A and B are shown apart, each in its own frame.
Chain A
Amino acid sequence: MNRINQKLKEDKKLLSIYFTAGYPSLNDTVTIIQNLEKSGVDMIEIGLPFSDPLADGPTIQASSTQALKNGMTTEVLFKQLKDIRKSVSIPLIIMGYFNPVLQYGVEAFCKKCQEIGIDGLIIPDLPVDVYHDEYKTIFEHYGLINVFLITPQTSDERIRFIDSVSNGFIYMVSSASVTGSQSGFGDENTAYFKRIADMHLKNPQIVGFGISDHETFTQATAYAKGAIIGSAFIKHLTSKKIDTINEFVNFVVK
């Protein structure tokens, strides 16, 4: 069974952390992953940096720009991750935009992910319809779970379609925003979290965008299976050393 599905069965609220590969330094990738696992994180999203990240706010954009300057490429990332499964056992997901995947070759990319032991992909600008018609069989052939986003504006009908195409979890964007642009959740967010929970989808939901601390983590996971932190973690990496990752994680899950 895919590590993501296994993890989702555990009887706890999951903490997933996003970071941009190649940031702060080109060769931090493996250490960051190992430190995150040691700190008790449940799942990791490894960001493959892109020059034009449409869905990201200033924090992740800046880390992507820096990572590219540091020399990160698809090839370099795959090399860095070559032996990752010798030391890390939690689910690993690559999150990136579609153009770099397309240039690598979708099938070649998926094959490489399987060889390394990547469990899933999140590609925000690969729409569910295109995935369903053109790429689903390839992803499944290489044992990869593709994760789709929903937002407060996504219609129930479309959520049901996304649920039917998904085989891991659904990435629930907390509010209409790019990454890193929120502070705290209000009634509107909570109502949305509850509305989705009440749909009793076949895939569990993990909330992302706007989660930065213990309070927002608790609010987000009141109805959902877990939560993803990105920008707040990047900020921590920017101001602190990568051997203080456990401080950040302890501060979120306590």
Chain B
Amino acid sequence: MNYNVNEKGYYGEFGGAFIPEMLYPNVEELRQKYLEVMAEPDFKKEFNQLLKDYVGRPSPLYFAKRLSEKYHTKIYLKREDLNHTGAHKINNTIGQILMAKRLGKTRIIAETGAGQHGVATATVCALMGLECIVYMGEIDIARQAPNVARMKMLGAKVVPALSGSRTLKDATNEAIRDWINNPVNTHYIIGSAIGPHPYPDMVTRFQSIISEEIKWQLKEQIGRENPDYVVACIGGGSNAAGTYYHFLHEPDVNIIAVEAAGLGVNSGESAATSVLGKEGIIHGCKTLLMQTNDGQITEPYSISAGLDYPGVGPMHAHLCKTGRAEFMAITDDEAMTAGLELCQLEGIIPAIESSHALAIFEQRTFKPDDVIVVSLSGRGDKDLDTYIKYFKL
């Protein structure tokens, strides 16, 4: 079984590019050039240099001793939270800004939910001196004020998405409309492993640095490259795609994908797409998405804004359908508890998104010898408000 994208842009039956003709020239240009550009020695050199000197990679692979003791197994944390701007998102924006420059683009647009991808995009635009416009749902702007301020300080223009439900999916629609209106000078930096081909594959490749490092770091620390499990939370699925990438075709590595169950999978307030979703089309790709019987896209819910997306990337839809990955759903309460536990056992305040991945240890037992690598996709600074309210700190 092949878990990578095929030459037509599909992962099994998922993926493709279901885009209006107005977007065709841009997406087609990207499709024709992205692999070639990424293979250029100059590109690789600049990308790797920036990841090292600017982002601070390699990010540590940390053996979480006290957490491991508590759950009687061996837990390693891939510390994406230590990256510049505080999450894995910057791996992708560094790659895409270099891509945009090679394509001769001078104007950058992005969508953002919680603001993490918006901040990571504004950061690389400042770094490269390019104009930056970030679309953000009006409701998210109100609930993520610190990240809005960060983007502004970094020189980005934050445009409220006023249509539909005024959250992440609508911000994505607005970014796509902007791209339709500005087809020549603009590059759209998508923030997850979603969208029309080649975006899911391009984002996955930029994020694959995560599993590339895990391999040699594990080899150094325990003498073998492959863990028994890799675990990551899934919003659109970019940190997960990067964490799984080099293990997809290693049958001895089990893959666990963690979705946000919100108030409970069957509560009507959830973002567990693999359970609640059906095959359909969202933002230009065929994948699993939450929708009405009639094909209208519905609004998900999770306490973590970064997991609050009604679809999953097409690669993950394929991993789910084929059974290559095991999908688990974690509620708000379970995630918050796991987040606080990591603070108290390891001295690390995780992003609430990442806390979902950590919460699986209460749900499921592992063997004492199992080596489990969890993607700690981001740090919790951005979530302090939510933690304060939740725990009445």
Contacts and interface: CB of A to CB of B under 8 A. Distances in A.
Interface of A: 50-55, 57-58, 61-62, 65, 68, 73-75, 97-104, 124-128, 130, 148-151, 153-155, 158, 173, 176-178, 181
A54 B293 contact: no
B295 A103 contact: yes
B291 A99 contact: yes
Given A99-B281, A99-B297, A102-B280, A55 B20 contact: yes
Interface residues of B, number: 35
A103 B294 contact: yes
Given A75-B294, A100-B294, A154-B25, A125 B281 contact: yes
Contacts of A177: 22, 180-181
Highest count of chain B CB atoms <10 Å: which of A58, A100, A149, A181: A100
B18 A55 contact: no
Contacts of A125: 18-20, 281, 284
B282 interface: yes
A127 B181 contact: no
A17 to B, nearest CB: 21
Given A54-B173, A127-B24, A68 B181 contact: no
A169 B173 CA distance: 28
Given A125-B18, A154-B21, A176-B183, 19 more contacts: A51-B164, A54-B20, A55-B20, A97-B281, A99-B281, A99-B291, A99-B297, A103-B278, A125-B284, A126-B18, A127-B18, A127-B19, A130-B16, A149-B21, A154-B24, A176-B22, A176-B180, A178-B22, A178-B177
A139 B293 CA distance: 23
B344 interface: no
Contact of A173 (B22, B280, B283): B22
Interface of B: 16-22, 24-25, 162-164, 169-170, 173, 176-177, 180-184, 278, 280-284, 291, 293-298
Contacts of B281: 97-99, 102, 125
Contacts of A99: 280-282, 291, 295, 297
Nearest to B281: A99
Nearest to A150: B21
B163 A58 contact: yes
Contacts of B278: 103
A149 B17 contact: no
B12 to A, nearest CB: 16
Nearest to B172: A52
B190 to A, nearest CB: 14
Nearest to B25: A153
B141 to A, nearest CB: 18
B93 to A, nearest CB: 23
Given A54-B173, A153-B183, A173-B22, A61 B163 contact: yes
B290 to A, nearest CB: 11
Contact of B173 (A52, A153, A181): A52
**Most A CB within 10 A of own CB, among B282, B295, B297:** B295
Contact of A55 (B22, B162, B182, B291): B22
A99 B280 CA distance: 6
B173 A74 contact: no
A103 B291 contact: yes
Contact of B297 (A52, A149, A151, A173): A52
A124 B20 contact: yes
A69 to B, nearest CB: 11
A172 to B, nearest CB: 10
Nearest to B280: A99
B163 A151 contact: no
8 contacts: A51-B297, A99-B297, A103-B293, A104-B294, A125-B19, A125-B281, A153-B24, A176-B182
Contacts of B284: 54, 125
A159 to B, nearest CB: 10
A244 B88 CA distance: 56
A138 B289 CA distance: 25
A111 to B, nearest CB: 17
A75 B292 CA distance: 13
Contacts of B162: 58
Contact of B295 (A102, A126, A154): A102
Contacts of B293: 103
A109 to B, nearest CB: 10
A101 B278 CA distance: 14
A247 to B, nearest CB: 29
Contacts of A154: 21, 24-25
A50 B281 CA distance: 12
Contacts of B297: 51-52, 99
Residue among B16, B20, B298 with max Cβ neighbours from chain A (10 Å): B20
A44 B42 CA distance: 54
Given A52-B297, A178-B181, A181-B181, A173 B21 contact: yes
Nearest to B180: A178
A127 B197 CA distance: 13
Question: What 5 A-B pairs have minimum CB-CB distances, sorted nearest first?
Answer: A103-B295, A100-B295, A149-B21, A51-B296, A124-B20
A133 to B, nearest CB: 10
A156 B337 CA distance: 59
A97 to B, nearest CB: 8
Nearest to A58: B163
Contacts of B24: 127, 153-154, 158
A145 to B, nearest CB: 17
Given A127-B17, A153-B183, A65 B164 contact: yes
Residue among A126, A127, A151, A181 with most chain B CB within 10 A: A127
